[in-house]
Amino acid sequence: MRALPLSILAALLAVAPAHAEDSPSGQAEAAEAPPSLVVMVSVDQFSADLFAQYRRRFTGGLARLQEGVVFPSGYQAHAATETCPGHATLLTGARPARSGIVANNWFAPGLARADKRIYCAEDERDPASTSSRPVVSARQLKVPTLGERLKQANPLSRTIAVSAKDRAAVMMGGRIIDEGWWWQGGAFATFAGRGTPRSVAEANRAAAATVAKGAAALPMPKWCAARDRAIAVGKRAVGSGRFALPKGQPDLLRTSPRMDAATVDLALGLAREFELGRDAAPDVLAIGLSATDYIGHVFGTEGLEMCIQMAELDRSVGRLLAGLDALKVDYAVVLSADHGGLDTPERLDIQAYPRAARANPALTPEALAAEVTARTGIAAPGSGPMLYGEGPAGDLYVTDALPSQAKARVVAALVEILGEHPQVAAVFTARQLAEMPMPTGSPQDWSLRDRARASFDPFRSGDLTVLLDRAVVPIVDPDRGAIATHGSAWDYDRRVPILFWRRGMAGFEQPAPVETVDIAPTLARLLRLDVPDGAFDGRCLDLDPGEGNTCAR
């Protein structure tokens, strides 16, 4: 409980959002009052394709959300369809080119650390931080989140963000955040130096008990039976798993629907403990449900595992909504995703999509560097590599140990080598992308160069951006970890559903493409939040199915 100091109360009244007198018709005033709590749910790797495939099966929370306003074709319009850039669009309304979150990891060849790699959610200035064991921070995010804008208008507004992934929580919460929690080494953790609220301690006790006891396989809905078919991927078989949890394996809990259930429990516990939505200052609760992504990477998207996950996700979202109902506050929910995904190529190959393939090892930074040396005679001076990059796609950085003329020759050689490769759809130099304007118009019609431009930052992006051909999966060896992924510039990774729901809202469906950067401006209008013109890359979506317009002032 908090007491309101008079000075804060006065400030609150001075900036209090305008109410119904602003509505053009003066009608439907109750429905137009701002919600007192905004709940952003991000389902990691929830592609528009998965939504289309399973939406008629949903009977829980995802069924309720489908009674609201449904945009089945929301675009994460940029090329770098990864978790950090995608989460950063959701509550900032900014594409990666503006948010600065151009990838999960980028490289700074001038950085002192040996791997030259910066994690999107780290404070790389902290000597304790490394790219693989980061000191978690939102400092890389160059734009404010909705929660930060609310706080600026009203310091009593609170933002709480939880997820299995630190980058999901941090990119939705922002720099100024009341509570931010993520799963780390078998428990929910937060920023250094912060205390542990009662609800987090409870969630961690519950998770520890589940890990210690283990759990039986999850039930298989009847409609999943057709998906129950094992296929060989490398040395593994996937496609018929049911998430039995052996004792003492927190990582297996993470890669299962139980991770989402634990995240929902934590979110509800924090919402109750901090009394979100109770006072005049609207609050933000951001929830990243990561299990769909972990399951997609480990098992692919078209097996029994994902089918069970869709049923369990529906159940977890249902429990979340029931818990929010019990708060007895006027809340608005948005559910979307950070990116889509694609199935493992081995199953695509036998299920009528034989063009799917794994990326050729010749496209890894190491192999490309060797080919550059063979063609030009230029080698990296010293012990470091010539090229830095995450793998056979995305950004490539040339070492800054080379003089600029040699570096230019390396870039030219790479353009030639990559341009000749049958698995490469396009390669762009930093100069090519820097020269072009930000794309406009419908994201489904954008060229590959437009898509790459939307995730280009001249200070963080590579000397080259490499886009692989459709259905070329950038995992060379499935025995070394994930078997399937996302991250491409193609629509299976760019298209995600966007669902808005609020009690009493009249629903409708709009199949035309919209963007995830439209979410923040839409919520800002619902909240009567004044945001300067041009602050968002997206636009307000009118959530009124009739003559009314929730975007009108």
Q: How far is the CB of 323 from Zn ion (least distance, A)?
A: 24
Binding piece for Zn ion, criterion CB under 5 A, among 113-121, 205-213, 338-346, 359-367 = 338-346
Single-letter amino acid, residue 344: T
Strand partners, 238: 231
Applying CB under 5 A, which of residues 338, 390, 457, 463 lies at the interface with Zn ion? 338
Find where tokens 């963000």 sit: 161
Is 83 assigned a catalytic role?
yes
Greatest C-alpha distance within the chain: 74
Residue nearest to Zn ion (CB): 83
Residue closest to 116 by CA, chosen among 132, 101, 140, 98: 132
Q: Which of residues 282-301 bind Zn ion (CB under 5 A)?
A: 293
Q: How many residues form the binding site for Zn ion (CB under 5 A)?
A: 4
SS3 content of the chain, % helix, strand, coil (to 5): 40, 15, 45
Cα(89)–Cα(339) distance, integer angstroms:
10
Contact between 493 and Zn ion per CB under 5 A: no
Contact between 343 and Zn ion per CB under 5 A: no
Residue closest to 512 by CA, chosen among 451, 436, 441, 411: 441
- Residue among 313 and 430 whose Cβ is closer to Zn ion: 313
Check 59, 81, 83, 92 and give the catalytic one.
83
Contact between 81 and Zn ion per CB under 5 A: no
Site string for Zn ion, 22-51 (x = CB under 5 A): ----------------------x-------
Beta carbons within 10 angstroms of residue 274's beta carbon:
18
Binding piece for Zn ion, criterion CB under 5 A, among 75-83, 98-106, 234-242, 529-537 = 75-83
- Residue among 101 and 281 whose Cβ is closer to Zn ion: 101
Contact between 163 and Zn ion per CB under 5 A: no
**If you count them, how many residues does the chain have?**
553
Applying CB under 5 A, which of residues 23, 36, 66, 83 lies at the interface with Zn ion? 83
Cα(358)–Cα(345) distance, integer angstroms:
7
Q: How far is the CB of 293 from Zn ion (least distance, A)?
A: 5
Contact between 166 and Zn ion per CB under 5 A: no
Residue closest to 102 by CA, chosen among 82, 126, 74, 122: 82
Rounded alpha-carbon distances, angstroms, from residue 539 to 168, 171, 417, 481, 514: 23, 20, 40, 39, 9
Q: How far is the CB of 205 from Zn ion (least distance, A)?
A: 28
Q: Which of residues 435-474 bind Zn ion (CB under 5 A)?
A: none
Cα(319)–Cα(373) distance, integer angstroms:
57
Q: How far is the CB of 338 from Zn ion (least distance, A)?
A: 4
Q: Are 489 and 452 in contact (CB under 8 A)?
A: yes
Active site (catalytic) residues? 83
The residues of the shown chain that bind Zn ion, judged by CB under 5 A, are: 44, 83, 293, 338
